[in-house]
Amino acid sequence: MLKKIMFVTLATILVLAIVQNLTAQPPEGRGPGGRPGRGFSSALQQPPVPANEEEKKILSVLDDMNANQSGGMMNVPPVDGRLLRLFTEATGAKHVVEIGTSNGYSGIWFCLALRTTGGKLTTHEIDARRASLARENFKRAGVDKLVTLIEGNAHETVNNLKEPIDILFLDADKEGYIDYFNKLLPLVRPGGLVLAHNTDSTGPDFIKAITTDPNLETVFQVQGHSVTLKKRQK
């Protein structure tokens, strides 16, 4: 079972790299070798198709947040949210830790998967107004019981975390990534993932940490986001 989960994780990372490169193609949608690829490019932009009414409700809340709450919230774009959900469900994550809740947009994407894996989200936010808005959004999406929102300076509050982490998502103060990483990597289980948004703004220490450790495997997406696997040991 563990080998199967690891295979799914690595396969997901490979798919991610391919999808990001394809979606970064110019508007003409040229395919390999210069062949037209308009149909395929268009398919990549299709919105998610809900499997049931519960998922439909959550996706509608996400659509509303993206349309009406995105200003000043520094949310991930919808395609990145879908990838967060994909990683979480593919790895069967039971505990996701997020640094930077904002209004709860990315957290709800995580919860789309966690409601099926039987997992939970622990998310940290320093801004009281955003934390309050996130609580409202988690409730109206019907995922509030899956979420523990910790308000305060995450550089301090993460020291209280003791449980193993399946996925760690960094999307807060970029210069602080290295501190969060150093404090929380010991809790990330072997086979777990560290996802970091906008790594091109983090500085050299974080990049060095995720690319030179022999116990880690890191790939970068087109936009400078990183996916780091904490390798299993024999």
Domain that holds residue 153: 50-230
pLDDT of the residue at 15: 42
pLDDT of the residue at 30: 45
User: Residue 163 sits in a domain of what CATH number?
Assistant: 3.40.50.150
From CA 58, how far away is CA 92, in angstroms rounded?
Answer: 20
Q: Indicate whether 146 belongs to any domain.
A: yes
Would you say 187 and 116 are in contact if contact means Cβ atoms under 8 Å apart? no
Q: Residue 45 has which token pair?
A: 């932009």
Q: Indicate whether 176 belongs to any domain.
A: yes
Q: Indicate whether 121 belongs to any domain.
A: yes
> How many domains does the chain divide into?
1
Q: Indicate whether 63 belongs to any domain.
A: yes
Q: Indicate whether 61 belongs to any domain.
A: yes
Q: Indicate whether 22 belongs to any domain.
A: no
From CA 174, how far away is CA 199, in angstroms rounded?
Answer: 7
pTM: 0.84
Would you say 135 and 143 are in contact if contact means Cβ atoms under 8 Å apart? no
The tens place of each residue's pLDDT in the chain, 234 residues long, gives 545 444 444 545 544 443 344 334 444 444 445 554 556 566 667 899 999 999 999 999 999 999 999 898 999 999 999 999 999 999 999 999 999 999 999 999 999 999 999 999 999 999 999 999 999 999 999 999 999 999 999 999 999 999 999 999 999 999 999 999 999 999 999 999 999 999 988 889 999 999 999 999 999 987 789 999 999 988
Q: Indicate whether 78 belongs to any domain.
A: yes
Would you say 209 and 177 are in contact if contact means Cβ atoms under 8 Å apart? no
Q: Indicate whether 130 belongs to any domain.
A: yes
Q: Residue 121 has which token pair?
A: 């989200």
Q: What does each C-alpha distance from 199 to 17, 27, 30, 120, 204 come to in angstroms?
A: 16, 26, 28, 25, 10
